[in-house]
Amino acid sequence: MFTEDVEEVLIRAGFEEDINGLSHYLSEYDNRYIRITKPQETKPKRLLGQNGLHYLQLALHRSKTLLEGSISSLNSKNGLVGILCTRAHFEVTGSLAYFYKKLNNFYNGKITYEQIDDCLHRLTLGSKMNEYGKDLAPINVISLIEAADDYFKNKINEKVSMFKESYDFLSEYCHPNFYGITMGSDINNVGIVRYNNLSILKKDDLVFIHYLLMSCISFLQFYDMIYGLLSDNEVLSKIIK
């Protein structure tokens, strides 16, 4: 998974357990991979199961691709790209948290079928570009992140916005603010500045790994809970692994 020299850097920086975690989650993504889905011979009364499963697989692919991109960034000694991938991973994890929240509300009678159907359409087809003649606004990304916090706050009985605060921290590196713009240089106590010509891995730049693991385990948890709800209440497509 990692080149020998990068693995040595990670181990020296105290990330040995995280290496094992990343490897574990890669295999967990593969366990959930579906190669093909086919419609049932008889069309179900509602398509929430088929459309919901389709969205789950789209999100799974994006989530795994971003995880693999983060790993590739480490092998390329490019910590900034790893942070960008991790921040994007938070967003797709948040999208499943949002869908899970709405799905629960639907099955508990708090919202109508039309509302859950609109939610799923916006998650799957929403775009600010009207390229294909669709006028379907995407769901605001902060609403997605906050949906993850809503779930975990109820579980751990804490008021801390774990996902939102982590997302904001990663965003400071993704924008050309202080943290993001100064990754390419080092300054010593007498004012000598050395600018990085090649990509290097510094311990301070590796903090995103912990956030990536947090997002991975949360994504898989939301995936399984959504899949369980859909399996129990809807007619799913035929699955070919």
The reported pLDDT for the residue numbered 30 is 96
The reported pLDDT for the residue numbered 48 is 97
The reported pLDDT for the residue numbered 128 is 83
The range of the structural domain enclosing residue 117 comes to 4-240
The model's pTM is: 0.93
Q: Are 175 and 183 in contact (CB under 8 A)?
A: no
Structure tokens at 79: 């910590």
Beta-carbon contacts of residue 124 (< 8 Å; ≥ 6 apart):
51, 54, 55, 58
Using alpha carbons, list the distances in angstroms from residue 100 to 54, 133, 147.
14, 28, 9
Mean pLDDT, the chain cut into blocks of 10 residues (241 residues total): 92 93 96 96 95 98 98 92 96 98 98 97 88 77 96 78 95 89 86 82 86 97 98 97 91
The reported pLDDT for the residue numbered 131 is 66
Distance CA 220, CA 222 (A): 6
Using alpha carbons, list the distances in angstroms from residue 52 to 34, 47, 73, 105.
14, 8, 31, 15
DSSP reduced 3-state for 159:
coil
Distance CA 223, CA 55 (A): 10
**Into how many domains does the chain fold?**
1
Which residues are registered as beta bridge partners of 186? 194
